[in-house]
Every structure is written in C-alpha cells, then in structure tokens.
A and B are shown apart, each in its own frame.
Chain A
Amino acid sequence: MESLLSPVILFFVLGALAAFARSDLAFPEPISKALSLYLMCAIGLKGGILVAGNGFTTDLLLAAVAGLALSCLIPIGTFFVLRGFGRLDATNAAAVAAHYGSVSVVTFIAGNQILTDSGIPPAGYMIAVLALMETPAIVVGLILARGGTNLKLQSGNELLRETVLNGSVVLLTGSFIIGLIIGKDGFEPVAPVFETGFNGLLCLFLLDMGLLAARRIRLARNLTARLVLLAIVFPLVNGTIGCLVGAAIGLDVGTTTALAILAASASYIAVPAAMRLALPEADAGLYLSLSLAVTFPFNITIGIPIYTYLAKLMV
C-alpha cells in the first residue's frame, strides 16, 4: 500500500486519468525524450558507482547468468501460450514473446526507486543485468518466428544497430562503465544533477508515461480479452519465477525483487523497433499495446508491490 502512494505511482495514475478523461494535458515530446535519457544516464551511473564500491562479486555473476537464462527462456513459454490460448499466428506470437523476454527500463527505474525508498535497495549490479537482458529475447523471438529453422535476418547490420547499439542499451551500459571508472569520488561533482533532481524528474516522466499508456490503450485495436488477460498473467508468472530464481541463488530481498521486476516487465523501447525491422509483417500496434498499455501499468501499480511481497516471503 505504501508503494502505491509513492509520488512516482501517483503521478503515473494522474497521467493515465488525465488521458482517459481526454484532458488536454500533454508533455512536449522532446522533453519526454530528454527525461528518459537523463533517467537512463543517472541509473547507469549509480549502478556503476555501487559496483565500483563493492567490486565484482559472485552474486553479480549469478544474477547475470540468471537474468540471461530468464531472458532466453521466458519468450519460449510465452510464445506457446500466445499461440494456444492467445490464438495468435506464429509471427505475432514471436514478436510479442520477444517483448516479454526483454525488459522495461522505466519499470526497473520506478521499481528501483520504490525499493530504495522502502529501505530495501537492490544491488547496483542489477543495472548490468538489465542491460544483459535487453537483447537475447530478440534473437529467441526471431528463431521462434522462423519456426526454429532457416533463421535468416533480412538485414543483419540494421538489426544489430537496433539491438546491441540501441540508444537505451548504449546509454545504460556506457553510464554504468563511466560510473565504474569514476567511482564515488568522481561522481561527487556531478551528483547535484544526477541525484538531487532524480526523484522529481522521475515523477514528471511517469506522468508522461501515464498519459502515453492510456492514449495507447484508447487507440488499441486487435486487443482481445484473452490477450489482455495474458498481458496480466505473464508478468505475474514471470515475476514469480524471478522471485524463485533470485531466492534460489541467494540474492537479498531488494535484489530478488529487482530480478522479479526485470523478469515480469516487457520492453517497449528497444524491442519494438527491432521487431519492426526484423518482422515487419507483425502487428506493431498489438505488441506496443500489450507491453505499454497493459503490462507496464499493471507492473507499476500492482505488480511491484506483489513481487516485493513474494520476495520477502521467499528470501
């Protein structure tokens, strides 16, 4: 309940309500883009500085392997459920599955902040795990789309640029490395920009995301009740698996919750662009609506408290 009343969540809800009520509240798009870059840069730096302080530990390695495994395996289960219960064709099921195997940076940032405010901050190395989990699901999704055989990318270089060199991946990884290099002392001169304003700017960004998610659901077509149900069940199941894995490898409560959030979240930044390139015949409106308009709001408002509760039970 406490996390539901955090400013981050309340601003998100305000944005969603405003969009549903058809208010003329709007966020200038370049500012929204700038905010997302700022948040990724700040979270990457903070993660790198924490790892610089604690060093490379066994927990980091285990979390990285667990994250990679989840990112590869989640799309497979998701794909077959979408094909069966969701009644999607192979191309659309694979495209949607890739989104659920990958991760949502914004969900992670919001979760990270809520956990930190609750006194159970996740380990800094989870930023590296986040970056690792961005792309493997795209490859698995493409293999699933091609039926496991004759995987032939239409344009390898183009796809590589959209996945490995995707702006969010580059900025997160780059900031993380900068944080590792500069350490706590080097961070101090720039801390006022990346620390003092972080919470307030996160609230503004979540306000915009609330507007965006609600607009997306208002425009959604081809969304069946079955698919909406799956977009809620997938994060619950994947988040629970994330909790189980985190507890099994000995992570603390905050870090286990962060792994669960990563497993439960669905990408809507890196994967949509990659899928549009690799599987242009898939319905972009469908996968954007499911990940951004259903799963993202669910995770932000209900999912994160549930994963936190489960992690506390299991760890």
Chain B
Amino acid sequence: MVIKSHCKKIEILVDAPLWRRIRDQAMEMASDGYTLQPTLGGEGARGRWFDDQVTGGAGSKVVFTTVLEEEAASRFLDALEPMLEAYGLMVTVTTVEVVRAVSGPSSNSD
C-alpha cells in the first residue's frame, strides 16, 4: 500500500566544509533524511569553481537535498536566510509528490 503527499524538495549547493551546518538545520526542522551529491565544478556570481580533491574541500561544493512538509520547509528556509550571503548558498525549492510505502497488516501473520 502506498500513500502520496505533496512536499517541498529543497536542493542547496553549498561549499563542502559547510554542509554539516545545513544538515543540522534540516534535522532541527524534522527532516527524515537527506542526500548528498558531489559536483564536478561550475560557475556562478562568485566566479568559476571546480572540485580538486586536494585543497581540503574548501573549493569544492556538494548538493544537499532534503524533502520536508510545507510548514517545516518554510521554517527551514527562514533559518537558512542568514547563511545565504555569507555561505554563498544557492537554494532551489520545488513542489514534489512523494510516494511512500506504508506497511499494512501482513497476510501471513497468525
């Protein structure tokens, strides 16, 4: 059995050394979990960057993805606001339909 619900998927491009701070904020907002993805490089308002694996991650970025209920997402985005400029975050928010399995009573149970 599955249930469907509308949630907010938040994706944040963040400097590799700083992603744990984003995770901590997300967990405070009742996030169930998150996913990290590596990046190869890119270009933005602060110039070009690339992942070199040598400079301790200072020049590297990761994409942090989490899915939250609408209210929690709103609180999470409010909490991120002071970090947007200082941490140079790029945040995108999309509305998604989340499909989750719900375990029902087992037919084999006694």
B53 at the binding interface (Cβ < 8 Å): yes
Contact B59 A284 (CB under 8 A): yes
A185 at the binding interface (Cβ < 8 Å): no
Contact B86 A280 (CB under 8 A): yes
In the complex, what distance in Å separates the CA atom of A89 from the CA atom of B37? 34
> Chain A 31-69 against B: per-residue CB contact (8 Å), 1 yes, 0 no?
011001000000000000000000000000000000000
User: Nearest-CB distance from A295 to chain B (Å)?
Assistant: 13
Contact A272 B59 (CB under 8 A): yes
- Cβ–Cβ < 8 Å partners of A166 in chain B: 56
A87 at the binding interface (Cβ < 8 Å): no
User: Nearest-CB distance from A292 to chain B (Å)?
Assistant: 7
Known: A29-B53, A219-B48, A284-B15. A158 touches B58 (CB 8 A): no
A276 at the binding interface (Cβ < 8 Å): yes
Q: Which of B50, B53, B57, B86 contacts A215 (CB 8 A)?
A: B50
Interface residues of A, dominant DSSP: helix
Q: Which of A32, A168, A221, A276 contacts B18 (CB 8 A)?
A: A276
- Cβ–Cβ < 8 Å partners of A292 in chain B: 55
* CB-CB contacts below 8 Å: B12-38 with A: 15-18, 20-21
User: Nearest-CB distance from A59 to chain B (Å)?
Assistant: 31
Contact B59 A288 (CB under 8 A): yes
Contact A269 B86 (CB under 8 A): no
Contact A212 B17 (CB under 8 A): no
Q: How large is the interface on B (under 10, 10 to 19, 20 to 34, 35 or more residues)?
A: 20 to 34
In the complex, what distance in Å separates the CA atom of A267 from the CA atom of B51? 18
Known: A284-B59, A285-B46, A288-B58. A276 touches B51 (CB 8 A): no
Q: Which of A29, A162, A221, A270 contacts B52 (CB 8 A)?
A: A29
- Cβ–Cβ < 8 Å partners of A281 in chain B: 86
Known: A284-B59, A285-B46. A212 touches B18 (CB 8 A): no
Q: How large is the interface on A (under 10, 10 to 19, 20 to 34, 35 or more residues)?
A: 20 to 34
**Most B C-beta atoms less than 10 A away, residue of A209, A268, A272, A276:** A276
User: Nearest-CB distance from B35 to chain A (Å)?
Assistant: 21
User: Nearest-CB distance from A145 to chain B (Å)?
Assistant: 13
Contact A221 B47 (CB under 8 A): yes
Q: Which of B50, B51, B53, B56 contacts A273 (CB 8 A)?
A: B56
- Cβ–Cβ < 8 Å partners of A269 in chain B: 54-56
In the complex, what distance in Å separates the CA atom of A33 from the CA atom of B57? 11
- Cβ–Cβ < 8 Å partners of A288 in chain B: 55, 58-59
Q: Which of A32, A36, A219, A277 contacts B17 (CB 8 A)?
A: A277
- Cβ–Cβ < 8 Å partners of A276 in chain B: 15, 17-18, 57-58
Pairs A–B under 8 Å by Cβ, sample size 30: A32-B52, A33-B53, A36-B54, A158-B21, A162-B56, A166-B56, A208-B54, A209-B54, A212-B52, A219-B47, A219-B48, A219-B49, A221-B46, A268-B56, A271-B56, A272-B56, A272-B59, A273-B16, A273-B55, A274-B56, A276-B15, A276-B58, A277-B17, A277-B18, A280-B83, A281-B86, A284-B15, A285-B47, A285-B49, A292-B55
Interface pairs A-B: 3 shortest CB-CB:
A272-B58, A273-B56, A29-B53
Query: A: which residues have CB within 8 A of B?
Result: 29-30, 32-33, 36, 155, 158, 162, 166-168, 208-209, 212, 215, 219, 221, 268-277, 280-281, 284-285, 288, 292
